[in-house]
Amino acid sequence: MENFEFYSPTYFVFGKGTENETGKFVKKYGGHKVLIHYGGGSVVRSGLLDRVKASLDAEGIQHVELGGVKASPHSDLVYQGIELARKEGVDFVLPIGGGSVMDSAKGIALGAVYDGDFWDFYCGKAGPVTKALPVGCVVTIAASGSEGSTDSVVTLVTEDGKQYKRCADGDILRPLFAIMNPELMMTLPPYQTASGIADIMAHCMERYFSHTKENELTDRLLEAVMLTMIKEGKRVMKDPSNYDARANIMWAAMVAQNNSTGVGRAQDWGTHHMDNEIGILYGASHGAGLALLFPYWMEYAMKTQGPELFVKYATRVWGCQNDFEHPEVTAREGIQRFRDFMTEIGMPATISELGGKEEDIPVMVENMFYGAPNHGNFVKLTPEIAAEIYKMAL
């Protein structure tokens, strides 16, 4: 295990009806004027936005609104939010929604107090974020785990129409509180639920496949989250209104990404970076791209790094019998079981299912490596390796 520092200040408020306590927690953490940030109409149609605003009003907290967040949030809305936050003098940012809304809100929070271009933190011109407006959140989708994480992922849209999806991070971006009511997820379409399940498992696997030795505790924690997702994922796809399944998935999303499962070990994240380009080019959900890419990444990684970790993954997570004489057989069975599970819950298995073509691969590779040369750790991706995995995934 490697040396590490870990700081996780988020106060979690979990359970039925907890969104009605939002105002109390904004007040507890010193908010006087709040920027409410959200996506489309579901937050409005469900009455959630009104309930949150009523809780703020009850505490005497002023608020302004900015909706319109799309999947893979774009920089133009972040710039708009920064301008609004400064103009209105807000001192707290409150996203209501899933990972995209939370990521966009974190971009606004850091940009509102920064003299330069907020994108400096995403393109590598500035270091980790150390100053931002405080953020609290009301979570409506179990997937990204942004409610407990240091990260914000935003897509820059250039004047010539190109898109670059990049990440900023810093402990200051961890929300001060997160309202988590599993009931809010019961009306999600099956595709969004399945995408969230895939995203959660991918967050585990990015940490699990590591060259760092002697990580027994975090290995077991990651395995526990993945086993929970297999059980509860099947249960919730059959019964979307199952509160207990939703609750377990919602908490698993946070545990998978707040990095308590990743401390002391080198992490990979190459597959996430490859998926960014699939989302940009084909509009696929983050989870869908990860679901289809990971089996092919695992096949490549097993071929180049050996089967040992993949045998452990196959036996501990998927219950495969270990073929000691032919470990690669066991490893491939585990990979196939992951692929089968993703297909069972409705995720794509190939890029071609999203409309992808081989001639798109050079564009994805070029965008992926533009201004961002380092990808992956367990497998250090080069443009040639990324292109090979994309081609495998067609």
Q: What is the pTM of this model?
A: 0.96
> Which is more confident, 42 or 150?
150
Q: What is the pLDDT of residue 127?
A: 86
Q: What is the pLDDT of residue 41?
A: 82
Decide if pLDDT at 355 tops 90.
Answer: yes
Mean pLDDT, residues 289-302: 98
Decide if pLDDT at 216 tops 90.
Answer: yes
Structure tokens at 355: 């409309």
Mean pLDDT, residues 286-291: 97
Q: What percent of the chain has pLDDT over 70?
A: 100
Render 142-182 in DSSP notation, one character per residue: SSS-TTT-SEEEEEEE-TTS-EEEEEEE-GGGS-SEEEE-G
Q: What is the pLDDT of residue 159?
A: 87
What is the C-alpha separation between 96 and 175, in angstroms, rounded?
A: 12
Mean pLDDT, residues 248-265: 98
pLDDT in tens, 361-370: 999 999 999 9
Mean pLDDT, residues 293-321: 98
What is the C-alpha separation between 251 and 3, in angstroms, rounded?
A: 27
Decide if pLDDT at 394 tops 90.
Answer: yes
Comparing 14-23, 40-49, 167-176, the range with the smallest average pLDDT is 40-49
The total of other beta-carbon atoms located within 10 Å of residue 110's CB is 28
**Mean confidence (pLDDT) of the chain:** 97
For residue 385, the one-letter residue type is: I
